[in-house]
Amino acid sequence: MSTALRHGEIVHLDRQHTAVVAGRAPVAELPDFFQQAYGSVFEALAQAGVEPMSPPMAYYPSEPGDVVDVEAGVIVGEEFTARGEVVPSHVPGGRTVVATHEGPYDTLEVTYRSVLEELDDAGLTRREVGVWEEYLTDPDSEPDPNRWRTRLHIPIG
């Protein structure tokens, strides 16, 4: 069952397995980190005969600052066996706000702020676990950043 919000909906998600490259990078270097990480993840999945269950995603286990901890990869159907730098991880389950951001990545903060303000107005709080993003649009296929779509996942209490 889901509950609609102005900027998304509240759903219950199961904990999901991921295959990721984990790292720590300055925000300005995230595009390079993602490009390298996704290449490694998709190569490791192909070698293992594992199909991704999501578009490319990034999990941020802690509050981002100028430097962020990040896991870049995809959701997979079962625990992934590590292959080089590609390791198993997961995204948390439970009540989660799912919202879609349309536009360039550097404006994601606007959508996050809108969702968090709406949660605050509703008396709901964010859980002390990370957020994750699924990148629904491939920038190589869609050069116009105003048409990019990113699905946000914000766990709530």
Q: Sign of dihedral through CA atoms 75, 54, 85, 30? A: negative
Task: Report the pLDDT value the prediction gives residue 63, as an integer from 0 to 100.
Answer: 83
List beta partners, residue 11: 96
55 is in which domain, residue-wise?
Answer: 3-155
Task: Report the pLDDT value the prediction gives residue 6, as an integer from 0 to 100.
Answer: 80
Q: How many domains does the chain have?
A: 1
Task: Report the pLDDT value the prediction gives residue 87, as an integer from 0 to 100.
Answer: 98
Dihedral angle computed from the Cα positions of residues 45, 47, 48 and 52, in that order, rounded to the nearest 10 degrees: 20
Question: Which pTM value belongs to this model?
Answer: 0.93
Residues 110-129: b if buried by 16+ CB within 10 A, e if exposed: ebbebbbebbeeeebebeeb
Q: Can you tell me whether residue 18 is helix, strand or coil?
A: strand
Contact 134, 56 (CB under 8 A): yes
Task: Report the pLDDT value the prediction gives residue 99, as an integer from 0 to 100.
Answer: 96
Sheet holding 149-155, edge to edge: 3-5, 8-13, 94-102, 149-155, 131-135, 57-60, 67-76, 16-26, 87-91
- Residues in the chain, total: 157
Task: Report the pLDDT value the prediction gives residue 95, as an integer from 0 to 100.
Answer: 95
Contact 150, 131 (CB under 8 A): no
DSSP H helices, 104-153, are: 108-121
The CATH number assigned to the domain holding 23 equals 3.20.80.10
Contacts of residue 146, Cβ cutoff 8 Å, sequence gap at least 6? 102, 103, 104
Task: Report the pLDDT value the prediction gives residue 129, as an integer from 0 to 100.
Answer: 83
d(CA 88, CA 37): 14
pLDDT in tens, the chain (157 residues): 667 778 789 999 999 999 999 999 999 999 999 999 999 999 999 999 999 999 999 999 998 788 999 999 999 999 999 999 999 999 999 999 999 999 999 999 999 999 999 999 989 999 988 999 999 999 999 999 999 999 999 999 8
Q: Which residue reads 């990370």 in tokens?
A: 130
